[in-house]
Amino acid sequence: MPARGELLLSAWAESGPAAAALLGDALGSVLARLSEIDVVELVTPGAGPLAMRLYRPAAWLARLENSSVRLGNRDWLVAAAHIGLRGEIELALAVGTPEPTSLIERIEATAQVVPARQPD
């Protein structure tokens, strides 16, 4: 089934250029890695009854944002990248196995050897 989503990648720093440099490095790494993989495990099998995978992910830079956030008495500059993502999603839900309705307790077999016929 086709699926679309968005990843948000943000970098916080004390200056705008520092935040932009951090975001640039991270964004380059994320886009390069996404271009190399064929399957993204969104929910790992074995972690529960649900497994979800994204096949053939395609990623692109959707938009960039800059903002500031005040924490305590400091202002932090935040550079953010919105990464568009699309692919084919596979969802599997394990519901368990049914109780057996019967059980094979024993198998019996017999064999008979018949001599080969001789040609006349």
| Within-domain flag for 102 | no
Over the stretch 17-38, which tens digit does the pLDDT of each residue have?
999 999 999 999 999 998 999 9
Residue 50 CA: distances (Å) to CA of 10, 42, 87, 91, 97:
29, 10, 19, 7, 15
Q: Is 105 part of any domain?
A: no
- How far is residue 83's CA from residue 86's CA, in Å, rounded to a whole number? 10
**Residue 84 forms part of a structural domain:** yes
Identify whether 113 is part of a domain: no
**What is the reported pLDDT for 120?**
62
115 falls within a domain:
no
Q: Is the pTM of this model over 0.75?
A: no
Domain count, the chain: 1
Q: Which range of residues forms the domain containing residue 74?
A: 2-93
Q: Quote the CA–CA distance of 45 and 92 in Å, as a whole number.
A: 9
Burial group, residue 104, by CB count within 10 angstroms (0-12, 13-18, 19+): exposed
Residue 114 inside a domain? The answer is no
- pLDDT band, residue 4 (cuts 50/70/90): very high
Out of 8-12, 57-61, 84-88, 115-119, least confident range: 115-119
Q: Please check whether residue 117 lies inside any domain of the structure.
A: no
Structure confidence at residue 62 as a pLDDT band (50, 70, 90): very high
Please indicate, yes or no, if residue 47 is contained in any of the structural domains: yes
